[in-house]
Amino acid sequence: MKTQLLIITALESELKREALPTGVRIIYTGVGKINATLASLKAIHECQPRLIVNFGTVGKVNPEVTGLLEIGKVIQRDMSAEPLAPRGITPFCPYPYEYFSIGGEHICGTGDNFVTTQDAWLKSQKVDVVDMELFAIAATAYQFDIPWQSFKYITDDANVNAGDDWQDKMHYGQELYLHKLNQLL
């Protein structure tokens, strides 16, 4: 079954299925890059979407950003294979080390850890926000030549309070996501 637009979100607590307009397909990946890759592969195979839209929550690294952001580029923040390759680049890999969406200006750094401290490398890469799934979703979309967009709601300051702040605020972005979705439809 071909789907025009496929929403991929990590958790139902971020965007509830019953809140979506009729006919809009959503896939929940679970947390992390492996889960996001597997769920994205399965969803692409089953739905054959023309566009993937990722809605999700993020911690902010850039103190100037707030609210809902459209992500323009994503990098992998936890790939560290130095001296074989600089941080963020997978050695001996023919695929890009950064992926670009069809819109947006903000940079997201994806990694399989919850960021709770400052990281000078993230600032040097001009990363605005951090998450745990987008790089995997974008890389999978790239493999199938499917354009993608991502809208991220900031829940925390990627500091020592990030876990508690995320749990308190993860559902706050839903109304903003739904407004953005109505614009996309």
Kindly state which CATH superfamily the domain 5-184 is placed in: Nucleoside phosphorylase domain (3.40.50.1580)
User: Going along the chain, which residue ranges are E strands?
Assistant: 5-9, 25-28, 51-60, 68-76, 98-100, 106-110, 129-131, 148-156
- pLDDT value for 126: 97
- pLDDT value for 3: 61
- pLDDT value for 185: 85
What is the Cα 151 distance to its own chain's centre?
A: 8
Burial of 101 (0-12, 13-18, 19+ CB in 10 A): buried
Say what the pTM is.
0.94
Series of mean pLDDT values for 10-residue runs along the chain (185 residues): 83 94 93 98 95 96 96 97 95 96 97 94 97 98 97 95 92 91 88
- pLDDT value for 184: 87
Is 54:9 a contact under the CB 8 Å cutoff?
Answer: yes
The domain segmentation of the chain, as residue ranges, is 5-184
- pLDDT value for 23: 84
